Structure 1
Amino acid sequence: MLPETPVTPGSPASDPARLLARLISIDSVNPDLVPGGAGESVIADFCGAWLAARGFEIHRLEKRPGRPSLVAIARGTGGGQSLMLNGHLDTVGLTDYDGDPLDPQIRDGRMYGRGTFDMKAGIAAMMVAAARTTAHGPLRGDVILACVADEEYSSSGTEEVLEAFTADAAIVTEPSHLDVTLAHKGFAWFDVDIEGRAAHGSRPDLGVDAIAKTGHLLVALENLGARLAQGPAHPLLGTGTVHASVIHGGEEPSTYPAHCRTTLERRTVPGEDADSVERELAAMLDHLTATVPDFRYRLTRGLHREPFEADPDAAIVRTLTRHAEQALGHPPVVRAEPYWTDCALLDRAGIPCLLFGVDGEGAHAATEYVDLASLDRLTDILTATIADFCS
């Protein structure tokens, strides 16, 4: 293996890798995922100062103290379309990372560190691209950068941004391997509480084992997943899925458990939503109530996010695809992602959008890296797209 090359700090507007190295060195772990995590304050301060020095109008949104999102605007002269570039500042935790997650290292054309792939590379690319396009004067339309908090948990950052800002189109710079991503799945979380009856372990005549009853639920979930896999498929995303995520039940070895809670996740495709999933789960549970003795349940809806599907003929899709083809030398792959992104919130707010980002690997993993050639290409493609769309 080649020796590691430390990254020289700095943040010139012409070099996204140097800017990325600065971003990686700033701890921005989401505290909703990791209690005590640093949050986004320091990295938002850095991005705000970097962009203000390049003439951007800075808006700091902080409805949740210590969880700021940043909106930076290069105002246009008028008559052009506005474009928002959206990326999240937060990362997942650092403790399971193999090496120093905040010390960016370059090996074999890759930069390693927590957030290199997911998704500080996208933040660096959109900041440098916006600075390049506005360095010699304003475009006709506004260029808006939304550097948001909390995407890794509940996306409160983008929700707060959309309360005050809009645009004619948007690009989310989540990693996509330089593929044009036009759809992704949604999700819905539910708690299923199975009620038993507590009794001494020697008295099966008095007790109802909530954990054993939950076994029927788990089998039913597995069967539901198999039916979904055989059902109608979305052309890009395939079918929805379901799985049990967390189970809590029981008090002690000598007592029949009176309660068992299962948290489950249902991944959704366009045409499905939390309401339809709740009806689906209730029907499954009602069948168990009718067929399994002493089966009693309570179904509670938790966090849910809608799936996303872009219009392939939208102006921003056609513009970015054209510039991607010119930069790559071939038409970009068009695909969908199984995970959720803030695209769904932008789309719901009436902003046509798509997802386009770097190549690399290791989101949420022990080793994470970005391919630096893809970072340069992404920056070039975003620069051309901004200049074209906003002028």
Structure 2
Amino acid sequence: MTRLPPESDPVAILQQLVRIDSVNPDLVPGAAGEVEIAAWCGEWLVARGFEVTVLEHIPGRPSVVGVKQGTGTGRSLMLNAHLDTVGVATYAANPFSGELRDGRVYGRGAVDTKSGLAAILVAAARASALGLAGDVIVTLVADEEFGSIGTEEVLRTLSADAALVIEPSSLELTTAHRGFAWFELELTGLAAHGSQPELGVDAIWHAGLALAALDGLRQRLNAEPAHATLGHGAVRVSKIVGGDDAATVAARCVLTVERRMLPGQPPDRVEAELRALFTAVAVGEPQFQFTLTRLVGRAAFEAEPHWPIVRALTANTERVLARPAATRGEPFWTDAGLILQAGIACVVFGADGEGLHADTEWADAQSVRALADILEGTITDFCGLAAD
């Protein structure tokens, strides 16, 4: 294994992590996955006195948990970041170079979110070396880019008083993000010869009715009061498959529907709304037969400004950056949705950079060092020093 870099410089660690291929195999069949990078991070934590456990319910998809126990008189804090990256097929240069050039570290995952991994490792080691009252729980998880199996596995066995989810945010506090749900709408018709369509039931024609109903829902969502940072919810059709040939009335058509939700709009409610929407279509068109199946559903996330973890992160951001802390909302989903659903107060925060999922990706080196400093102070303030 490559020699581990000094723990004092998160940028050096980031460079090493970028050089490890950890493309998610659920996104790219046969890709490397998290095995090597999980081993590297686990070894790093063990060398600094953390009790390390590898969770691997699905073989070949490990997540690393490193715990440094405090005296038991303070609050526990979970630090969460993902080990996996998206693919590199269209990457413009060497996706695993880890090159530091003009103050930027380049490569796949540099900002999303190996910058977060590096900052967590450094901050957790520095803070725990001071002697903390509360436990530091480092969770470096598999599969965030696809199914979040890593964070789900962590939450089956671990909890904490609060959590920081490290995702790129330009050193701004992400205090809200949308949820999402994907549905499959299957429309069942009756095949007939194209010369006599009246003898059949055209599932593709019925797809048009479904699209019109969804457009009505879209208009209603846009007419509702906007969330302060997230705007409006959204609905769209991402895929349509139907028909057998040009001369046959389609007996089947399947639409994939995506719904993006605001806080307070759980997946169960969204599914019920869609089911009612298509039931209303069937009332107007009795031959409209549908089956609605939820493929996945993830609740939205929203932090409260009075939470102690939000206050601690805000104070340390302002201390390190010497300016007021900024907050933001994101249209996309993160594992913070799962963590909050598990009853753990959390906030999303991370480094600055560009190129998430793009053909060139980089992280700003100065922001990575600032991130480590902010996390160290937040850990210390939230968990408390043993002497306190």
Fold shared by both chains (TM-score > 0.5) = yes
The amino acid of 1:51's aligned partner reads L
Picking from 121, 126, 135, the partner of 1:132 is: 126
2:101 is matched with which residue: 86, 107, 113?
107
The gaps in structure 1 that reach 5 residues or longer are 1-7
Answer yes or no: is 1:33 the counterpart of 2:27: yes
User: Structure 2: any 5+ residue segments left out of the alignment?
Assistant: none
CA displacement, residues 154-176 of structure 1 (integer Å, 9 cap, x when unaligned): 21111111111111111011111
Does 2:227 match 1:240?
Answer: no
Q: Which residue of 2 aligns with 1:387?
A: 380
Equivalent AA in structure 2 for residue 46 of structure 1 = W
Superposition RMSD on alpha carbons, in Å?
1.6
Which residues in structure 2 correspond to 1:186-335 (within 5 Å)? 186-292=179-285, 294-335=287-328
| 2:37 matches 1:66 | no
Q: Say which of 335, 341, 354 aligns to 1:361.
A: 354
Matched length: 383
Distance of aligned partners of 1:190 and 1:102 in 2 relative to their CA distance in 1, 3 Å threshold: same
Q: CA deviation at 1:371?
A: 1.2
Q: How far off is 1:9 after superposition?
A: 8.0
Q: Does 1:165 align with 2:161?
A: no
Question: 1:142, 1:226 → 2: CA distance?
Answer: 48
C-alpha distance 30-301 of structure 1, shift in aligned 2 (>3 A):
same
Match of 1:4 in 2: none
Q: Percent identity?
A: 54
Q: What amino acid does structure 1 have at the position aligned with 2:303?
A: A
1:200 and 1:99 mapped to 2: Cα distance? 53
Secondary structure (helix, strand or coil) at the match of 1:311 reads coil
1:340-379 to structure 2, matched below 5 A, reads: 340-379=333-372
1:384 counterpart SS class: helix
User: Which shifted more, 365-374 or 208-217?
Assistant: 208-217
User: Which AA in structure 2 matches 1:113?
Assistant: G
TM-score, with structure 2 as normaliser? 0.95
SS at match of 1:200: coil
Which piece of structure 1 moves more, 290-299 or 126-135?
Answer: 290-299
CA-to-aligned-CA distance 1:252-285 (integer Å, 9 cap, x gap): 2332221111111111111111222122212221
- SS of 2:67's partner is strand
1:261 alignment partner AA: V
User: 1:266-325 CA deviation, whole Å, 9 max, x = no partner?
Assistant: 111111112221222122212222334632211111210111111211111101100101
Partner Cα distance (1:78, 1:196) in 2: 64
Within 2, Cα distance between the matches of 1:77 and 1:271?
38
Structure 2 residue 169 is the aligned partner of structure 1 residue 176: yes
Q: Secondary structure at the match of 2:27?
A: coil
Partner residue, 1:3? none
